[in-house]
Amino acid sequence: MRFPGFTEKWEEIKLVDITEKINSGKTPLGGESVYLSEGIVFIRSQNVNNEKLELENPVYISEEVNATMKNSVVKPNDILLNITGASLGRSCVVPDDFALGNVNQHVCIIRLKENYNPRFLQPIFSSAKGQSIFESLQTGSGREGLNFDSIKKIILKMPVAGEQLKIASFLSLLNKRIETQNKIIEELQTLMQILTKEIFSRKLRFKKADENVFPEWDKTKMGDVFEFKVTNSYSREKLNYSEGIIKNIHYGDIHTQYRTLFNVEKEHTPYINLEVNTNSINKESYCQVGDLILADASEDLKDVGKSIEIVNLKDQKTLSGLHTILARPLKNIFAIGFCGYLFRSEKVRQQIQKEAHGSKVLSIAPVRLSKLTLPIPTLIEQTLIVDFLFSIDEKIEIEKVLLKKYHVQKQYLLQNLFI
């Protein structure tokens, strides 16, 4: 793939031949004890992330310390590359408006010569091709690092300066669109959090069709309006995504991927392997629309008891699996979808966290969940709440799909623009 107007052959060249500098810094004498709250920005590997220099919570060093590290001073348009640890291969271009900084030994500075564009080269590093190169160059007993000699010997194909600029400008525009899309999603998620809090603290109230407010919400214990059903303990090894009859909801997926309102047609849910004998499973253990499924364990307090509500199964047999609690509401108490949002609300989450127990791994059990106090509005008001919050959830999902498309477009371009 080429931009119109460019026909020149791309030149094969070693990275060392187009750079003025390839080196990293060091940890200042005294380590973290010399870090300051202001001064010269000190860049570490965690600051090189998502193809940009992230300085939301930076650390600083003094001018005196910086003066002892003159060979690793960072300038605008430098490429920064993480060369050790789990973040190896992450890179970014230092912004034009960057003032002054330095780096530690885990971040390599790559400063290009004139006529070579860092915003053309850095996307190559981020591409699948670039990551493959870094993977092949790793050194050390655990193959966990890159050295300068291997970086210098990286062979690249470089177009003329004009084509570099064209490609770099195009990718920059796409990156800005991705960044804007991320902000749209973040703002919608923040709005969702605020509105959920306002609704369940009853600062924001819905009105009846006659403009009168709904009655005050009842309060009841969870154990009085839910029944707890038996779940299974099938590990990931007994699940697959290609074939089966029964789907299985794993607690890990509740933590990482499922939406608040679980629709089996929209969620990537594994099947139980066909060779697993499920004949002994009671009919009551199969999920039903309206069921609440909670993850009963987490290493993080904020995620213990995280939950989803089943809103659509489309006749798909589905079970609640390993480290989950299956809570079935009594009939005619909750509108479909309401419990999904109720159990994500701040007041209910705080109660769950209070009831959780454990040291390294926190857990919650049905007997403790039964103690939770639940606010329950009328069914009509519940339905209005669900419709309102679901409309925002849907908007967030639409924007996420769009973001995914932008990332797919970018990966396609990265694979096909660099000949």
From the DSSP assignment, how many helices (H) and strands (E) are in the chain? 11, 25
Last residue of a domain, one of 123, 139, 159: 159
pLDDT at 143: 56
Cβ neighbors of 223 (< 8 A, separation 6 or more) are: 369, 370, 371
236: left (phi over 0), alpha (psi -120 to 50) or beta: alpha
Residue 123: domain span:
11-159
By C-alpha distance, which of 370, 353, 266, 375 is closest to 306? Answer: 353
Which DSSP letter does residue 312 get?
E
**229/352 same-domain check:** yes
Domain with 347 in it: what CATH number? 3.90.220.20
Evaluate whether residue 410 is within a structural domain: yes
Residues 222 and 370 reside in one and the same domain:
yes
Do residues 50 and 130 share a domain? yes
The answer to whether position 148 is within a domain reads yes
Note the pTM of the prediction, 2 decimals: 0.81
The answer to whether residue 2 sits within a structural domain is no
**30 and 153: one domain?**
yes
Note whether 95 and 187 are same-domain residues. no
Which of 374, 396, 411 delimits the end of a domain?
Answer: 374
**Residue 3: CA atoms inside 13 Å, Cβ hemisphere, count?**
15
pLDDT tens, the chain, 419 aa long = 778 888 899 999 999 999 999 999 998 888 888 999 999 999 999 999 878 999 988 999 999 999 999 999 999 999 999 999 889 999 999 999 999 999 999 999 999 999 999 999 999 999 888 899 999 988 665 557 899 999 999 999 999 999 999 999 999 999 999 999 999 999 999 999 999 999 999 999 888 888 788 999 999 999 999 999 999 999 999 999 999 999 999 999 999 999 999 999 999 999 999 999 999 999 999 999 999 999 999 999 999 999 999 999 999 999 999 999 999 999 999 999 999 999 999 999 999 999 999 988 999 999 999 999 999 999 999 999 999 999 999 999 999 999 999 999 988 888 876 64
Say whether both 96 and 47 belong to one domain.
yes
Tell me if residue 192 falls in helix, strand or coil: helix
Q: How many domains does the chain have?
A: 3
Residues 185 and 314 placed together within one structural domain of the fold? no
Q: What pLDDT does 141 receive? A: 56
Contacts 24+ apart (CB under 8 A), 33-36: 34/61, 34/62, 34/65, 35/59, 35/60, 35/61, 36/60, 36/61, 36/62
Verify that 354 and 235 share a domain, yes or no.
yes
Whether residue 1 is contained in a domain is answered as: no
Helices 118-126 + 379-417 axis angle, to 10: 110
Domain final residue, candidates 159, 192, 227: 159
Residue 6 placed within a domain: no
CATH classification of the domain holding 186: 1.10.287.1120
Same domain, 247 and 297: yes
| Same-domain pairing of 20 and 152 | yes
Q: What is the pLDDT of residue 355?
A: 96
Task: Answer yes or no: do 153 and 29 share one domain.
Answer: yes
Query: Looking at residue 412, what is its pLDDT?
Result: 87
pLDDT at 33: 87
Which pLDDT score, from 0 to 100, does residue 212 have? 85
63 and 109 in a common domain = yes
C-alpha 359/C-alpha 281 separation (Å) is 32
Residue 366 lies in a domain: yes
